[in-house]
Amino acid sequence: MDKEVDPSVLAAIDEMRLSGPRLTPVEIVAKMGVFDARDKPFEHAWLATGDNVIATIWGEYVSVAAGGRWFYLESLDAQRRPGGGVRSAQQAQRAKDRLALLKRTFDAGQGFRAVLQTNRVAIAELESNKSAKVSTRVRDDAEWHVASWEPEQQLAVLVRGARGWVPTEADIAAAKARGSVAADDDADAAPAGPTTTDAVQAAAMAYVMGHFKGYGYNAEDVTSKALGYDIEVSNAKGAMLLKVVVKGTAPALPTFALTPEESLCAVREPLWRLLVVADAGTATAAHKIYKPTEVDQAPGFQRKA
């Protein structure tokens, strides 16, 4: 939330927002060279054209050192949420994908592009509150880089601006209070979630409908029409964007399969996408979207014989 952001960082974000074109969060990433941004709206890092890495930098986690330099502590623990608790399989995979791209820039000695973002809920609830949505996202024209990568400490330091500067130990100690790195004694258990197929699917549908509508899209439930997908997503002008099959998983029901009609539709319909909601019906629900060619990569997918 804005009130959690350092005042100087928030002022810079507001200036970027007011001086730039009015774009949706997805459009911002797309214009930075991520042509499949529409299919990856909820990722935290992307590989753009020219082999450039783009990563989300949450304003709430940005610290400002005494000299005015911005830095950000990145947890290398993909299994635990910074706000406390164990990540779902979907959240953990998203974290691993982000870390892999950041490590790629570190190993190559390259910088990365950033989108600065603030959120509508407390940053500690970013991965545990299903109402968590983007408040503001802007492109940062300043380059960021990974200044240090410390697996033993499960910590990386991301720095904005020219190389050659790193935060002091005191800076890092103070920055940890912002909560981007999980506390050592955090051992929350994963949520149980619903235990019947119908309950999991209902929770997944409600989650997906809420997410698309939260981003300003029109979402219509067409499940009863047996079209080979569950939700039609369109923009404010009515242009069809996606035809989405929704599948939910939970600890008690970790797998899913496509129906014959869904499989056929995946072949004939260019806008068809699979959207899997992990931990459906819990506060840690998270999702990822897949093209027809990527369905086999979805955690929990079982192909029918």
Residues 78 and 205 occupy one common structural domain: no
Does a structural domain hold residue 189?
Answer: no
Contact, 84 vs 188, CB < 8 A?
A: yes
Residue 134 pLDDT level (bands cut at 50, 70, 90): confident
Contact, 199 vs 277, CB < 8 A?
A: no
Cα 204 to Cα 247: distance, rounded to the nearest angstrom = 7
Q: Output the pTM of the full model.
A: 0.61
Q: Which of 142, 176, 210 is the last residue of a domain?
A: 176
| pLDDT reported for residue 290 | 94
Residues 172 and 213 occupy one common structural domain: no
| pLDDT reported for residue 177 | 75
Contact, 276 vs 298, CB < 8 A?
A: yes
Q: Which two tokens mark 104?
A: 């790629």
Residues 168 and 203 occupy one common structural domain: no
- 216 has a pLDDT exceeding 70: yes
- Quick one: average pLDDT of 222-229? 96
Residues 171 and 206 occupy one common structural domain: no
Residues 162 and 256 occupy one common structural domain: no
| pLDDT reported for residue 283 | 67
Cα 74 to Cα 146: distance, rounded to the nearest angstrom = 9
Helix (H), strand (E), coil (C) string for the chain: CHHHCCHHHHHHHHHHHHHCCCCCHHHHHHHCCCCCHHHCCCCCEEEEHHHEEEEEEEHHHEEECCCCCEEEEEECCCCECCCCCECCHHHHHHHHHHHHHHHHHHHHCCEEEEEEEEECCCHHHCCCCCCCCEEEEEEEEEEEEEEEEEHHHCEEEEEECCCCCCCCHHHHHHHHCCCCCCCCCCCCCCCCCCCCHHHHHHHHHHHHHHHHHHCCCEEEECHHHCCCCCEEEECCCCCEEEEEEEEECECCECCECCCHHHHHHHHHCCCEEEEEEECCCCCCCEEEEECHHHHHHCCCECCCC
Does a structural domain hold residue 192?
Answer: no
Residues 204 and 281 occupy one common structural domain: yes
Residue 243 pLDDT level (bands cut at 50, 70, 90): very high
Q: Which of 121-125, 180-184, 238-242 has the lowest mean pLDDT?
A: 180-184
- 60 has a pLDDT exceeding 60: yes
Residue 252 pLDDT level (bands cut at 50, 70, 90): confident
Q: What is the pLDDT of residues 1-32, one digit of tens each?
A: 888 899 999 999 999 999 988 889 899 999 99
Neighbours of 40 (CB within 10 A): 19
| pLDDT reported for residue 305 | 64
Contact, 62 vs 68, CB < 8 A?
A: no
CATH number for the domain spanning 220: value is 3.40.1350.10
- Quick one: average pLDDT of 114-121? 91
Contact, 287 vs 134, CB < 8 A?
A: no
Q: Which two tokens mark 148?
A: 């240090």
Cα 56 to Cα 1: distance, rounded to the nearest angstrom = 15
- 197 has a pLDDT exceeding 50: yes
Does a structural domain hold residue 130?
Answer: yes
Residues 219 and 143 occupy one common structural domain: no
Residues 68 and 131 occupy one common structural domain: yes
Residues 6+ apart with CB under 8 A from 42: 94, 211, 286, 287, 288, 289
Does a structural domain hold residue 132?
Answer: yes
Average pLDDT score over the chain: 89
Residues 160 and 56 occupy one common structural domain: yes
Strongest mean pLDDT among 84-93, 132-141, 186-195: 132-141
Judged by phi (left if over 0) then psi (alpha if -120 to 50, else beta), residue 295 lies in alpha
- 92 has a pLDDT exceeding 70: yes
Cα 134 to Cα 37: distance, rounded to the nearest angstrom = 15
> Strands of 240-248's sheet, edge to edge?
218-221, 231-234, 240-248, 272-278, 286-290
Range of the domain at 263: 197-297
Residues 10 and 156 occupy one common structural domain: yes
Q: What is the pLDDT of residues 141-196, one digit of tens each?
A: 999 999 999 998 889 999 999 999 999 988 888 888 777 776 554 444 445 568 89
- 273 has a pLDDT exceeding 90: yes
Residues 234 and 113 occupy one common structural domain: no
Q: Which of 66-80, 84-98, 169-183 has the lowest mean pLDDT?
A: 169-183
Residues 85 and 232 occupy one common structural domain: no
Residue 234 class from Cβ within 10 Å (0-12 exposed, 13-18 middle, 19+ buried)? middle
Cα 145 to Cα 235: distance, rounded to the nearest angstrom = 35
Contact, 91 vs 97, CB < 8 A?
A: no
Count of structural domains within the chain? 2
